[in-house]
């Protein structure tokens, strides 16, 4: 059907991309799922044994649990640090705004390997944090910061914070400034106005930012492997080891599917919360 | 005048945390640039002295040159393919009220949500099941799958800001659809396509998870080379290379900001 309106384009234009993604995205994922049902890596019967192996193994469950917890910690830190940045942005003049946006965009567009490498330089034994602590006499020997959960959380927070800040800027910018004035004229102080008015109204931005940050930090393979080191194992590295080093494809496929479901579960949960919060913000 | 302690404490708390966050965002980039000018052999901070020696070493690091060329080629092909496929798809779905357009939109965006490493493994299994060995071709296909969403998203956004009356005017003045597209639609949505292409290029150039599975042994990619070097030893040449990449990225961001208003498109 050729549409009469000159503003609408033919849906057929979407065919090449639909075909491309069906062939090279959907089909591989379907194959991944099929392979995860294979009982024996060398072929043979189908069943759920790879999944029961994973879910019945405390080590595997521990990896999944620590990955999900890591995402939670990084997201919390990103919100805590990112919210004030977005707040200041919406209340500044154009000069400060463009400076803030440049600072926020820089980590987003710099190579992940470069950013992660920087954290090795900062957190290492001879790094900036340790040399400052030693020269100030606050520590006697270099502290172990690299290859720790704390170091990893801070490094991941820096890498993912732009994903938290950008939706927050949009959400806070949309709040009617008169609401703040109204609250003040009714006698509420700044803190009270913030907690009772601004924070609830920016919930859609908080949830959108948290979703992006969470999904990105649990899948951040490079940062996890370089700053976390070999001692801490998270889902992406577990998947990579099983697939590449051990060549156990069916189990790696099962890990992938479980990881996929976990990420999708988190995204769905946040979407649901987002819908609820929009209703609340508009009420 | 009475001091409003509550307002003061609120501003102070907000300002202080925002300052800490902004320092945290900038610090790693600044540290890499400073360390890359060290005259020493280690990544000590602050450096014992300054020199350009590691940038000189970089000129002879042919393995890194080779990897960088591969990454640039793959990123260029990926961007080209993503621009063509993504722009066509965005034109089809952007202004369509049909439910199928909404469904397609979610389908086109889905590679962004799924862990790239899981997709890399799936791609490897898929190509080996088809009997196709991994090659630069499979690498470009894999990168396009994870980069094309940026094109669709930015082009759809640009199209939805386009005033339809412009197109109706053009049509009522006798221009055919192709002419209207070439002279009106394309120039107006070009910033969106360029911004999407830029993000696709950068994320392909920087991609590790998909490349790990879909490249062949002969195709050494820059971020993978850097990652492997960093896992083994801390080489100052990598700091110099990082310095070059940062300057390259900042220059590109500034050009794209001028051309497309990049920051407004990302926010």
> pLDDT exceeding 90 applies to what percent of chain B?
58
Q: Give CA–CA dist B118/A61, Å, rounded.
A: 18
Contact A201, A175 (CB under 8 A): yes
B240/chain A closest Cα distance in angstroms = 10
Taking CA atoms, what residue in A is nearest to B235? A117
Name the residue among A13, A235, A263 with its Cβ closest to that of B92.
Answer: A13
Sign of CA dihedral A78, A145, B242, A95: positive
Which residues of chain A have a CB within 8 Å of the CB of B227? 113, 222, 225-226
pLDDT averaged over every residue in chain A: 88
Which residues of chain A have a CB within 8 Å of the CB of B7? 189-190
Q: Give residue B261's region: left, alpha or beta (phi > 0; psi -120 to 50).
A: left
Q: Give CA–CA dist A168/A54, Å, rounded.
A: 37
Question: pLDDT at position B196, please?
Answer: 94
Q: Give CA–CA dist A118/A122, Å, rounded.
A: 6
For residue B82, with 0-12 CB atoms within 10 Å meaning exposed, 13-18 middle and 19 or more buried, which class applies? Answer: buried
Closest CA to B63 of B248, B237, B258: B237
Please determine, for residue B70, whether its predicted confidence score (pLDDT) is greater than 90: yes
Measured N-to-C along each axis, helices A27-36 and A249-282 cross at an angle, to the nearest 10 degrees, of 120
Q: Is the pTM of this model over 0.95?
A: no
Question: pLDDT at position A1, please?
Answer: 38
Q: What per-residue string of b and e applies to A46-76 under the rule 16 or more CB within 10 Å gives b?
A: eeebbbeebeeeeebeebbeebbebbebbbe
pLDDT digits (tens, 9 = 90+) for B183-199: 888 999 999 999 999 99
A280/chain B closest Cα distance in angstroms = 23
B121/chain A closest Cα distance in angstroms = 8
> What mean pLDDT comes out for the span A139-167?
89
């Amino acid at each position: 059907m050729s549409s009469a309106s000159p503003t609408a384009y033919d849906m057929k234009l979407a065919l090449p991309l639909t075909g491309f993604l069906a062939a090279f995205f959907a089909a591989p994922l379907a194959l991944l799922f099929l392979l995860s049902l294979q009982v024996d890596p060398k072929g043979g019967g189908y069943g759920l044994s790879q999944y029961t192996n994973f879910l019945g193994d405390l080590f595997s469950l521990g990896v999944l649990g620590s990955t999900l917890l890591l995402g939670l910690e990084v997201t919390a830190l990103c919100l805590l640090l990112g919210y004030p940045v977005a707040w200041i942005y919406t209340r500044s003049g154009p000069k400060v705004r463009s400076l803030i946006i440049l600072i926020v965009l820089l980590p987003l567009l710099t190579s992940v390997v470069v950013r992660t490498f920087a954290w090795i330089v900062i957190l290492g034994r001879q790094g900036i944090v340790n040399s400052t602590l030693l020269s100030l006499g606050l520590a006697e020997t270099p502290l172990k910061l690299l290859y720790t959960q704390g170091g990893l959380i801070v490094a991941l927070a820096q890498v993912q914070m732009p994903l938290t800040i950008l939706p927050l800027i949009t959400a806070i910018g949309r709040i009617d400034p008169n609401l703040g004035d109204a609250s003040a004229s009714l006698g509420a102080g700044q803190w009270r106005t913030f907690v009772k008015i601004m924070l609830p109204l920016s919930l859609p931005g908080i949830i959108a930012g948290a979703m992006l940050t969470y999904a990105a930090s649990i899948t951040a393979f490079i940062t996890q492997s370089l700053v976390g080191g070999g001692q801490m194992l998270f889902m992406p590295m577990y998947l990579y080891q099983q697939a590449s080093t051990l060549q156990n494809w069916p189990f790696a496929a099962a890990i992938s599917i479980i990881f996929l479901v976990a990420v999708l579960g988190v995204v769905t949960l946040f979407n649901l919360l987002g819908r609820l919060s929009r209703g609340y913000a508009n009420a | 005048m009475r001091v409003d302690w509550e307002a003061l404490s609120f501003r102070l708390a907000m300002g202080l945390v925002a300052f800490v966050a902004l320092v945290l965002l900038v610090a790693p980039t600044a540290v890499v640039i400073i360390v890359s000018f060290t005259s020493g052999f280690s990544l000590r901070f602050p450096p014992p002295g300054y020199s350009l020696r590691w940038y000189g070493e970089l000129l002879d690091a042919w393995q890194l040159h080779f990897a960088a060329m591969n990454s640039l080629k793959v990123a260029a092909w990926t961007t080209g393919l993503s621009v063509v496929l993504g722009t066509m798809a965005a034109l089809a779905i952007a202004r369509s009220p049909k439910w199928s357009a909404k469904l397609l939109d979610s389908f086109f965006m889905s590679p962004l949500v799924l862990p790239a490493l899981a997709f890399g493994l799936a791609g490897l299994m898929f190509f080996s099941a088809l009997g196709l060995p991994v090659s630069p071709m499979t690498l470009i296909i894999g990168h396009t799958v994870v980069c094309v969403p940026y094109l669709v998203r930015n082009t759809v956004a640009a199209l939805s800001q386009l005033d339809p009356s412009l197109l109706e005017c053009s049509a009522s003045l006798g221009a055919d659809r192709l002419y209207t597209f070439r002279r009106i639609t394309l120039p107006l949505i070009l910033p969106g396509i360029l911004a999407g292409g830029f993000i696709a290029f950068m994320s392909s150039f920087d991609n590790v998870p998909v490349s790990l599975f879909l490249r062949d042994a002969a195709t050494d990619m820059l971020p993978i080379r850097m990652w492997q070097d960093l896992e083994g030893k801390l080489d100052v040449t990598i700091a110099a290379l990082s310095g070059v990449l940062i300057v390259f990225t900042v220059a590109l961001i500034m050009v794209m900001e001028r051309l497309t208003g990049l920051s407004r498109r990302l926010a």
